[in-house]
């Protein structure tokens, strides 16, 4: 009997345990994974629409090798380009909610800024009300970015791992990721929030600290994925029929 690649477990993610297991898994090769994650994110950020997907696939390829206790090499990062087409399609789909959320917030900030300029020119000086309005606009903008990151983190957490592990097409990987995330919503949301706190704490250290926690947070994602999509064998042997002498 073949395993259905879209089948997944429910309610199996415990955020704190995932983070602890992540550190235990990579601590003896931490610097290798730091290099893989940092280089992958830097290259991916250079042209996110095209490069981020392949780089994320390469990172997860290396992480899954570690989960399977296989040898991990830095050049494995670039094997993510073997999944170029599905990863780019998945990246484009993930950008849709980003545009929907950020564009209105950006327009609010722009209009608030023009309001301050017009008010200052008309009154010949500062305007406290306009300044407060601009500050509120900035709060809305950054809140929108935060909500976007949470939405993307929760519903699309398993997208690139599915492309790598199950060889899914981009659209299928996104759909399956959303379904699996909804079935494990509490655990996924908790893990995303914990990772956000770690990343924020790292970012406070002149931002460079965010790179140092990146291997741990991404490894926690890989562990969470493997709990939701267990690495079952492709088929299960039918047990032999017991001898007649065993019958009661």
| pLDDT, tens digit (0-9, with 9 covering 90-100), for 36-58 | 999 999 999 888 889 999 999 99
CA 206 to chain centre: 22
Spatial distance between the Cα atoms of 41 and 58, rounded to a whole number of angstroms: 11
Q: Is residue 199 part of a domain?
A: yes
pLDDT of residue 116: 65
> How many domains is the chain built from?
1
Q: Is residue 126 part of a domain?
A: yes
Q: Is residue 87 part of a domain?
A: yes
Q: What radius of gyration, in Å, describes the C-alpha atoms of the chain?
A: 23
Q: Is residue 7 part of a domain?
A: no
Q: Is residue 97 part of a domain?
A: yes
Q: How confident is the model at residue 237 (pLDDT cuts 50, 70, 90)?
A: very low
Q: Higher confidence at residue 106 or residue 17?
A: 17
Q: Is residue 55 part of a domain?
A: yes
Q: Is residue 6 part of a domain?
A: no
Q: 79-88, 126-135, 201-210, 231-240: which range is least confident on average?
A: 231-240
Dump pLDDT digits (tens) for 128-185. 666 666 677 677 777 777 777 777 788 999 999 999 999 999 999 999 999 999 999 9
Phi, psi of 20 (to 5 degrees): -65, -45
What pTM was computed for the model?
Answer: 0.78
44-73 burial: b if 16+ Cβ within 10 Å, else e: beeeeeebbbbbbbbbbbbbbebbeeeebe
Task: Show the domain range for 222.
Answer: 15-233
Please give the C-alpha separations between residue 26 and each of 21, 142, 214, 220, in angstroms, as whole numbers. Answer: 9, 33, 12, 10
């Amino acid at each position: 009997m073949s395993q259905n690649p879209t089948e997944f477990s429910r309610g199996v993610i415990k955020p704190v345990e995932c983070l602890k297991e992540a550190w235990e898994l990579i601590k003896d090769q931490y610097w290798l994974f730091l290099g893989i994650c940092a280089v992958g994110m830097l290259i991916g950020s250079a042209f996110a629409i095209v490069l981020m997907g392949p780089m994320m696939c390469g990172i997860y390829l290396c992480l899954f090798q570690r989960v399977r206790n296989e040898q991990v090499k830095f050049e494995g990062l670039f094997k993510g380009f073997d999944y170029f087409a599905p990863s780019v399609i998945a990246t484009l789909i993930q950008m849709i909610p980003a545009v929907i959320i950020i564009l209105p917030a950006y327009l609010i900030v722009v209009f608030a800024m023009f309001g301050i300029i017009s008010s200052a020119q008309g009154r010949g000086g500062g305007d406290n009300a306009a300044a407060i309005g601009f500050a509120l606009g900035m709060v809305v903008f950054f809140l929108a970015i935060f909500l976007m990151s949470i939405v993307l983190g929760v519903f699309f957490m398993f997208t690139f791992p599915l492309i790598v592990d199950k060889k899914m097409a981009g659209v299928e990987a996104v759909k399956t990721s959303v379904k699996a995330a909804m079935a494990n919503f509490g655990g996924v949301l908790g893990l995303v929030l914990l990772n956000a706190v770690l990343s924020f704490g790292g970012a406070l250290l002149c931002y460079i600290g965010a790179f140092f926690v990146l291997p741990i947070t991404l490894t926690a994602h890989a562990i969470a994925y493997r709990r939701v999509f267990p690495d079952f064998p492709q088929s299960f042997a039918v047990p032999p029929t017991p001898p007649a002498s065993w019958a009661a």
